Amino acid sequence: MSTDARPNIRAPRGTEISCKGWVQEAALRMLMNNLDNEVAEAPEKLVVYGGTGKAARSWPDYHRIVASLRDLGDDETLLVQSGRPVGIFRSHADAPRVLLANSLLVPKWATWEEHHRLEAMGLTMFGQMTAGSWIYIGTQGILQGTYETFAACGRTHFGGDLSGKFVLTGGLGGMGGAQPLAATMAGGAILCVEVDPDRIQRRLDHRYLMKATRDLDEALAWIEAATAKGEALSVGLEGNCAEVLPELVRRGVTPDVVTDQTSAHDPLVGYVPDGLDLAEAAALRESDPEGYIQRSKAAMAKHVAAMRAMQKAGAVAFDYGNNIRAFAVEAGVEDAFEIKGFIPEYIRPLFCEGKGPFRWAALSGDPEDIYATDRAILELFPDNEHLRKWITMAGEQVAWQGLPARICWLGYGERVKAGLRFNEMVKSGELKAPVVIGRDHLDCGSVASPNRETEAMKDGSDAIADWPILNAMINTACGASWVSVHHGGGVGMGYSIHAGMVVVADGSEAAQRRLERVLTSDPGMGVVRHVDAGYEEANRFVQGTDVKIPGVTV
Ligand code: NAD
């Protein structure tokens, strides 16, 4: 297959399957869905999102995975090593049909330089989080998490939502592209600085962004008018954050909130240094990667220094999980970590209750199936107003990308209820085909990422990476449909180890048992992790549950 034309991959819809069972078919459809033109950022390069996050290592590997899944028995397990299918073993019906390991390196070698060297030799790929684990569902996936974060930011700092507030950010990529819609859902007026006009256009096309300009004055005038009237607005500004933010500081413009989601986790194939247009950046990346990385880090330093200046002038500043602070420190911004991460600031109390981004996709391809599950969620949790608001807004405002899908944050006890209900709906024919259930790796109990998910843990256990491995092992033991262990997602090489899981609700009794186990143990790991780290919220929560923790509840 050509590597420069968009490939037009589209997951099959409906109830006809080309694999030997629904679980294999689900893996096949979700792999294909990750690479659907509507879903992936650069499907021609197998890149799904998050800089260079890929679904398969190469096109021959992709085709071999597809063929393997089609041939895979109900008692077999396919092993995928960084996007390459490397073996198929006899396991058993309740075992995962696929086990994946992505981008893992021995810790002393765990650098981008080593990764790029090995990638160039064809030995590995960057799996990001849900790219290499085949459960990316487009920008909606992050939309709800971003909405939760902006909503929590409004509650924490402004005693309500973000109405009348000016939010400034960077990056309109696969994840960052959720920011404009999430901020307007939370009532704010957001200015998103993005260097790539195609990305801006994509967000306009998908209705995630309201308007765009290349003119900073025009953008600021729009924002000012919106904040004055308390109106929600999103504006894309074509520009480079390392130029625009320092310019705003020079002008004395201070937003109410400043954050960033440029792909700073990768200083070579992610962040774009100032002073270069996209073509010049691409040329320099090829001709002088070392020089590029230096310029990139220097640009991040300017960018973060400007965020710090805004923070000192009164803006609420938070890091949004792209590791920009670490590179800024390397390039001389010593106080970069005065900007706190969004997890300790807003998300950790949710993690203590096993809450995190629960998501599902309808393999029928019919949006009606998702609307039916939306109604089921509202019936299951009638007292959760926040959830009601989200599900209603998502139903009205989220454009489908690829297979229809939904996400919402549910905690321990809640996920299993939802999963079992969906399985019943498949069994009864209320849904036209099975549903896959998974989650992001931005999660409560499956990630070790000291600059993000596990930043500032109460007991200092930020860098302990046993937890994601235990998570993957328990999900495997419990019968998840596919399980993955990754390195470097979100924040880049050397900075994170994390695990993913997907479980299929195909309406069968066997699926019911698997769902019950997996959707209990997976969020349960989040509760256990936070009890172990000494969080009072987690301790209080666990007392009312059946989670067994030796020495604590049993
Ligand atoms: P992406 O690569 O799809 O998009 C990044 C965007 O940043 C691109 O559109 C790029 O043109 C733009 N960009 C790069 N340098 C720029 C600059 N100097 N000025 C303006 N724009 C610039 O990546 P993504 O999937 O959107 O992820 C963004 C970042 O967020 C990544 O670092 C990712 O690891 C991280 N991330 C955060 C979360 C979270 O929940 N907070 C989750 C996943 C990933």
| DSSP code at position 178 | G
The closest-lying atom of ligand 1 relative to the alpha carbon of residue 323 is 32
Find the helix or strand (DSSP H, E) in which 391 lies. helix 385-397
User: Pocket of ligand 1, candidates 192, 199, 241, 322: which has the most ligand atoms within 8 Å of its Cβ, to mutate?
Assistant: 322
Model pLDDT for residues 517-543, shown as the tens digit of each residue? 999 999 999 999 999 999 999 999 999
The closest-lying atom of ligand 1 relative to the alpha carbon of residue 240 is 19
Contacts of 220 (CB under 8 A, 6+ apart): 191, 253
Q: Say whether pLDDT at 4 is over 70.
A: no
Quote the percentage of the chain above a pLDDT of 90. 93
Can you give the pLDDT at residue 1? 45
Find the helix or strand (DSSP H, E) in which 85 lies. strand 84-90
E strands, 110-251, are 166-170, 189-194, 211-213, 233-238
What amino acid is encoded at 102 in this protein?
N
For the whole model, what pTM was predicted?
0.87
Nearest CA to ligand 1 atom 42: 490
Q: How far is the CA of 488 from the centre of ligand 1 (A)?
A: 14
Q: How far is the CA of 448 from the centre of ligand 1 (A)?
A: 20
Q: How far is the CA of 533 from the centre of ligand 1 (A)?
A: 30
| DSSP code at position 177 | G
Confidence of residue 170 (pLDDT cuts 50, 70, 90): very high
Q: In DSSP terms, which residues pair with 356 in a beta bridge?
A: 410
**Residue 436: helix, strand or coil by DSSP?**
strand
Confidence of residue 6 (pLDDT cuts 50, 70, 90): confident
Determine whether the shortest distance from the Cβ of 356 to ligand 1 is under 6 A: no
Which residues are marked as active site?
Answer: 408
Model pLDDT for residues 233-285, shown as the tens digit of each residue? 999 999 999 999 999 999 999 999 999 999 999 999 999 999 999 999 999 99
Q: Are 165 and 257 a contacting pair, CB within 8 Å?
A: yes
Q: Are 498 and 468 a contacting pair, CB within 8 Å?
A: yes
What amino acid is encoded at 219 in this protein?
A
Distances (CA, A) of 474 to 82, 95, 137, 393, 446: 21, 11, 24, 35, 11
Q: Are 468 and 446 a contacting pair, CB within 8 Å?
A: yes
Encoded tokens for 188: 């704010």
Tell me the Ramachandran region of residue 164: left when phi exceeds 0, alpha when psi lies from -120 to 50, beta otherwise: left
Model pLDDT for residues 112-127, shown as the tens digit of each residue? 999 999 999 999 999 9
Highest mean pLDDT range out of 48-52, 321-325, 366-370?
366-370
Can you give the pLDDT at residue 34? 98
Q: How far is the CA of 514 from the centre of ligand 1 (A)?
A: 35
Contacts of 157 (CB under 8 A, 6+ apart): 257, 316
Can you give the pLDDT at residue 2? 43
Encoded tokens for 485: 């262990």
Model pLDDT for residues 438-489, shown as the tens digit of each residue? 999 999 999 999 999 999 999 999 999 999 999 999 999 999 999 999 999 9
The closest-lying atom of ligand 1 relative to the alpha carbon of residue 265 is 32
Can you give the pLDDT at residue 139? 81
Q: Is the dihedral of CA 279, 284, 289, 293 positive or negative?
A: negative
Determine whether the shortest distance from the Cβ of 172 to ligand 1 is under 6 A: yes
Model pLDDT for residues 55-88, shown as the tens digit of each residue? 999 999 999 999 999 999 999 999 999 999 999 9
Q: Are 323 and 304 a contacting pair, CB within 8 Å?
A: no
